[in-house]
Amino acid sequence: MFQAPRTRIFRPPGCLGSSCGSLGKAAPKMGKRLKTATLVAFAGCLATAGVAIGANAVAIYGNSMNSSAKRSQVVQVSGRNCDRGGSQAALRVTVGTRTDECIYRTPVVGRDLEISATERLLSGTPRSIRKGMFLALNLRNGGGGMYQLAVFPLQRKFQLRKDLPDGTRKFLSVGKGVKRIRGINKATELRLRAFNLTGTRDKDDCRLLVFIGGKRFAVVTDDNAGPLKGRYASVSVGSSRSAAGAVASFDDLLVRVPSPF
């Protein structure tokens, strides 16, 4: 069952839109085109800063993780000891000693973004820590803060969290008994959106949408988004305690921005 968030709840739009296309078309090449994707995301956020944000979004970056070149586009930004590798179709991350979370960011930088990925907690994870492990998507990541959608595969639970730069954490929405969150070695499809609302008085409200397995599970408005100055979109694996030995994989990564149309 769901626990009601303390922030304001609104009825969500009818759909998220499907104009983003396939991963194959969205994925940029390395080099100049990759840098261009980063700049486009930032410019897109500036262009829509004064416009009411609708339901549609446009894909600007995709990564199927099916080659070492594509996997290298995703860069570690947090985690004391994190080891990365890969299979033919995914980025594989192993958490090392004295580490509670490993975070890897996309090349996209921007405020108003949507990120989606397919994530798995793998059987190489020690049984003693599996229950406390989470897989996550992160937006506005950086400077010690972020919005995070964390799912716990063995608990079938999700948390939409707001981590502030001062180290405090707020829970914006929590869901339990979610069957679309799948167990060990099984894929869970996640999507998180954070778009600012421009029709409010201080223009500091952020609308967050949570999707798991293609189903919408939460729509929350945070009325104090200003403290989150980070602009990375990232994925992560972690635990509230030491996550040493945990193994996770990530693929089908996609980043969208608000549609200008």
CATH of the domain at 184: 2.60.120.560
pLDDT for the residue numbered 22: 41
**Structural element, H or E, at residue 101:** strand 101-109
The helix/strand/coil state of 210 is strand
Structural domain tally of the chain? 1
Give dist(CA 204, CA 193) in Å, integer.
16
Tell me, what's the pLDDT at 202? 76
Q: Which residues constitute the domain of residue 173?
A: 2-258
CA dist 107 and 93 (Å) reads 18
Question: One digit per residue, pLDDT tens: the chain, 261 residues?
Answer: 444 444 333 333 333 333 343 444 443 444 444 454 454 444 444 444 433 334 589 999 999 999 999 999 999 999 999 999 988 899 999 999 999 999 999 999 999 999 999 999 999 999 999 999 999 999 999 999 999 999 999 999 999 999 999 999 999 999 999 999 999 999 999 999 999 998 788 778 999 999 999 999 999 999 999 999 999 999 999 999 999 999 999 999 999 999 877
- Picking from 130, 113, 132, 114, the residue whose alpha carbon sits closest to that of residue 122 is 130
Residue 55: the pLDDT is 57
**Cβ contact 20:57 at 8 Å:** yes
Burial per residue of 27-59, b for 16 or more beta-carbon CB atoms within 10 angstroms, e otherwise: bbeeeeeeeebbebbeebbeebeeeebeebbbb
Query: Residue 4: what pLDDT?
Result: 43
pLDDT of residue 260: 77
